[in-house]
Chain A
């Protein structure tokens, strides 16, 4: 069964203090890995899709990278508005229509 593990569960950063969130996965035939942001009381919002090891995507202060076993979401010089829960999900060629989500990392950026 496809599995996704995210760490840490929670992360508190000072404004401007860069860090990384981890998403490790066990998938037979990875087809895609996805990062979402979720604000309290709202639905997940898409950030990035990564399809192959070595691929990188960037958006403002966020950068997602992918290896054969894990993905990192790097946050550079975060601001308080980056506070949210970040979710990772995978889909495989075996279960192409289904997506498996991790439990998320709750990020708090302190001014």
Chain B
């Protein structure tokens, strides 16, 4: 049981390049989230999904797109990266029922640098 995994762990992009971050969970959770974490700003929600095929905007969605084609995967895309997207990106998942329905389980993070 791997929990939440993220690929890649590190990435360096040049301004204008695109990339996709992959999040996978093996807990059969309905909800999945993408956050970014910046010094002094805390975790901020980018996009989230309440189920396969559905996505919604969070607090800071501009410049990002997401897709949830399979229940276990949640992809975060940057179409044309800019330096302000330099950050650490975390994915999380949570169940909607059971003992702890509000508990978010986080992945290890992806450290992205945009030059």
Contact = CB atoms under 8 A, between A and B. Distances in A.
Contact of A99 (B41, B100, B104): B104
A29 interface: no
Nearest to A45: B106
A101 B56 contact: no
Contact of B103 (A31, A42, A46): A46
Counting chain B CB atoms within 10 Å of each CB, the highest count among A31, A42, A99, A100 belongs to A99
A49 B100 contact: yes
A39 to B, nearest CB: 11
A32 B102 contact: yes
Interface string A68-97: 000000000000000000010101000001
Is chain A's binding surface mostly helix, strand, loop or mixed?
strand
B34 interface: no
Contacts of B44: 101
Given A91-B102, A103-B40, A43 B48 contact: no
B98 interface: no
Contact of A43 (B50, B90, B102): B90
Given A44-B90, A98-B48, A104 B42 contact: yes
A97 B48 contact: yes
A98 B100 CA distance: 16
Contacts of B48: 97-98
Contact of B42 (A34, A91, A102): A102
Contacts of B31: 97
Interface of A: 4, 31-32, 34, 36, 41-46, 49, 87, 89, 91, 97-104
19 contacts: A4-B42, A34-B103, A42-B108, A43-B4, A43-B90, A43-B107, A44-B90, A44-B104, A44-B106, A45-B106, A46-B103, A46-B104, A97-B31, A98-B45, A98-B48, A98-B58, A99-B33, A101-B35, A103-B40
